Structure 1
Amino acid sequence: MANRRASITDLAKALNLSTSTISRALADHNDVSEATKKRVRELAEELSYQPNQLAAALRRGRSNTLGVLVPHITGNFFPQVVNGIALEASKAGFNVMICQSNEDVKQERKNIDLLMNSQVEGILVSVSNTTQDFGHFDAVRSQDVPLVFFDRIVEGFRGNNVSAVMLDDYQGAYQLVSHLIEQGCTRIAHFTGPLHINIHKNRHQGYRDALTAHGLEIDEDLISVMELNQKTGTAAMKRMLKQSNVPDAVFASNDLAAVGAMQAAKAQGLRVPQDMAIAGFSNEVFTSLTEPTITTVDQGCETMGISAVRLLQKMLNGNPDRQAQPRNVVLRPKLLVRESSLRKPE
C-alpha cells in the first residue's frame, strides 16, 4: 500500500468489516458504534486514507466537475480567462479539470474524450486554430452535456445544450481602425490569423468596414493572413516595408504580432508612431511596458471566464430534466489608446 493510495476496500479487509460499515463509520453515522468508528479512523490516519471525492460524487449522480479546454495557457488571455472560470466555479462548488489542445485538433479530440469519460457536468471550450471539422463535439451535444464555447466559437454549431460567450471582435476592430484613420493614417496594413476562426474573421471584417466607412480603399496587398506571433509579425512587417508604397500603420489581430511589427519598423529606422502607427488586440501585459506603449483592445478576460461559468450554471439548472437552455453572451470591447498610435494630441 506504500506505493498506491489506500482505498476503502483496504480498510475493510484490514479490519474485517464491510465497505459499507467503513463508509458509515467515516461519515459518523449513528448506526456504527463509537468503538468501531475509533478503529476505522485510527487505521485511516495510519494509512493516510483520503476518500475518492469523484467516485462519491458520481454515486450521488453528480461529478461536481467542469471541464475546460483551451488552445494554450501561455500569454495573458487564456490564463486570465481560466482564472475567471476557476474563481466562479469555486464559488458555485465546482472543481475544474483543465486541458490544453496546443492548437492541435487531434489533441483537442483526445481532450474531449477525456472530459466526457471523466463525466464532467459541463464543458467550456475555446477551439484550436487548426479545428475545421467539429464532429468531435457531436458526442457532447448528443449526450446533453452543457457545452459553452468562449472566445473562439463554432459558428453554426447549435443544439439545446450549446451556448457561447464571445467578445464583439468586429466592433473592437472597427473602433481601433477608425482611431487610426482619425490619427491621419490612410494606408493601414492588417495582420490577421486564419479567417476560418471567428475572432479573426470578425476582426478582419471590422477592419474592412472601417476603411470603407471612412472612404478609404481596401488594398489586398496590405493584408497578411498567418499564424500570429512575434516572429510572423516581424516577417510580415519586413515584407510590407519592401513594397513601393509602404503602409503608414499596422493593425495586428493580436499583440504579439503587433510588437513584432514594431520591432521590425524600428529596426529600419522608422519612428513609432510618427512614421508608422502600430496597434494590436488583446491587451497583453507587455503592451503597457514597451517603448512606446502599444494601443490595443481589452477583451475583459476574467469577465469572459466568469460569464462562461454563470451561463453553464443556468444551463444546468434550467429545467428539472437538465435540458440546457442555449444562449449567447456578447461582451463589449474596450479600446485602449496608447503611445504607439497617437499622432495627434488627445
Structure 2
Amino acid sequence: MTENSREDRNKKITITEVAKRAGVSVGTVSHALNNVGYVNAATKEKVQKAAEELGYVPNRAGRTLKTRKTGLIMMAIPDTSNEIYFGMIQAMLTVTKQNGYSMLLYYTNGDMQEELKTLQLLKEHVVDGLFLVHFSYDHRILDEIRQSNRPVVLCGMCNHLWANSLEPFDTVSIDVYEGIYAAVRHLVQMGHQKIGYLAGKLGTEVYRQRYQAYRDALKEFKLEFREDYVLWNDYSEIGGYNSGRTLFQLSDRPTAICASNDQQAIGCWQAIRDLGGKVPADMALTGLDNLNISNILNITSLNMKETSVGEEAARLLFWRLAHEDGELEYQNIYLRPELVVRESTLGSL
C-alpha cells in the first residue's frame, strides 16, 4: 500500500464534502442528518446517500457541544430476567427511533446506587432524557433530578408515591393495588376462603402496595388473615418455589394462592406439581405480569400494560424535549392492570 493510499483511507470526510456531493448547503446537511428543522424527503435522501457514499461519520461530541443535544435517551430497568420489561423496552425503542433518537439501556438491579448513577449520567449530559423504572424512594434521587435540568420520567411499577408532588419530572403509575385486589376478589368469587399470599421482597414499595391490597381485600370480604399464609421472598421463581412448598405442606393449607408477580406464581406452580398436587384441583393460583409462560401454564394473571408503559414514557420524554423552553405542567399517567382468567382458578372446591 502506498503512502498516498494510506492517507486517503485515514482521511476524515467533512460535512462540507458531503454538502458538495449532495449539491446542498452545509446547514441542510446538518439538519438532514440530525433530524433538526425541516428538510424535504427527497433532499434528505440525497444527503444520506452522499454521506454513505463518502463514508461520512458525524462527530457526535462536536454536535453535542454545539447543540447541547446528544441524540440519545436512556432507559433504566431493575431486572434483566423478568420478561415484563421486554415489551416496555420494545415500545420505548420504537418511539425513540420514530423521533430520530438512539436509546441506551441500563440495568440497575433495583439498587439505589445504580439508580443514582443513571441520574448522574443525565446530569453530565451523556443523554438528553431518562426513563427510570426504580424501586427506591429516597430524597437523594429527588436531589439528583432537581440538579439535572433534563427530562425525566419515573415509573415505580406501582402507584407512584411522587406523582402530583410538583417535582420536576413526569410519572407513569400502574395501579397494582387494584390489580391484586381484583385477583383476591376473583378467588373469593370462585368460592375460596383460605387464600395464601406470596408477598415479594419485604421493604420494597411496589410489594408493600400489593400486600396492602391483599390485606384490604381479605378484610372487605370478611376473610381471616393468617400470618402463616403470607410468605415474603425475593420475588423470583426459586422464591416462589420455596414458598409454594411451604404453603402446600401446611396441615391446614390454603385452597388458593395469590402471588404478587408471575415469577413467584410459576415457581409455586412447579412446587405444587413436584409435591404431587394439581392446579387448580388442590390449590388455585393467580399471578401478576401476564408473562408468556403464564399463558402456556394456564395461570390466571394480571396484564400490566407494559407496552403502554413504554409508549407513554417515551411520549412524555419526547414531548418534554420538544418543549424545553416552555413552562409546562408535569404529567402523571395512570394505568390499570387487567385480570386475565385462565384454568388455574377455574376449578370447583
Question: What TM-score results when the alignment is normalised by the length of structure 2?
Answer: 0.80
Structure-1 residue corresponding to 2:161: 155
Structure-2 residue corresponding to 1:256: 263
Structure-1 residue corresponding to 2:42: none
* 1:1-346 correspondence runs (5 A): 11=12, 48-53=55-60, 55-128=62-135, 131=136, 133-152=138-157, 155-156=161-162, 158-290=165-297, 293-318=298-323, 321-323=325-327, 325-344=329-348
- Contact 2:265–2:286 (Cα < 8 Å) also in 1: yes
Gaps of 5+ in 2: 1-6, 27-50
| Cα offset, 1:67, TM superposition | 1.5
Amino acid at match of 1:66: I
What CA RMSD, in Å, does the superposition of the two structures yield over aligned residues?
A: 3.1
- Contact 1:152–1:198 (Cα < 8 Å) also in 2: no
Q: Secondary structure at the match of 1:98?
A: strand
Output the CA distance in 1 between the equivalents of 2:320 and 2:224.
45
Output the CA distance in 1 between the equivalents of 2:142 and 2:314.
19
Task: Give CA-to-partner distance per residue, 1:163-195, whole Å, 9 cap, x none.
Answer: 211211111111111111111111111112235
The answer to which of 157-166 and 75-84 deviates more is 157-166
Output the CA distance in 1 between the equivalents of 2:202 and 2:53.
59
The answer to which of 246-255 and 202-211 deviates more is 202-211
| Cα offset, 1:25, TM superposition | 5.0
Output the CA distance in 2 between the equivalents of 1:123 and 1:329.
16
Q: Percent identity, aligned pairs only?
A: 28
- Contact 2:122–2:148 (Cα < 8 Å) also in 1: no
Amino acid at match of 2:161: E
Q: How many residues align?
A: 318
Q: Secondary structure at the match of 2:173?
A: strand
Output the CA distance in 2 between the equivalents of 1:134 and 1:27.
52
Structure-1 residue corresponding to 2:48: none
Task: Give CA-to-partner distance per residue, 1:53-93, whole Å, 9 cap, x none.
Answer: 46425522323322111112333211110111111122223
Q: Secondary structure at the match of 1:177?
A: helix
| Cα offset, 1:238, TM superposition | 1.8
The answer to which of 176-185 and 86-95 deviates more is 86-95
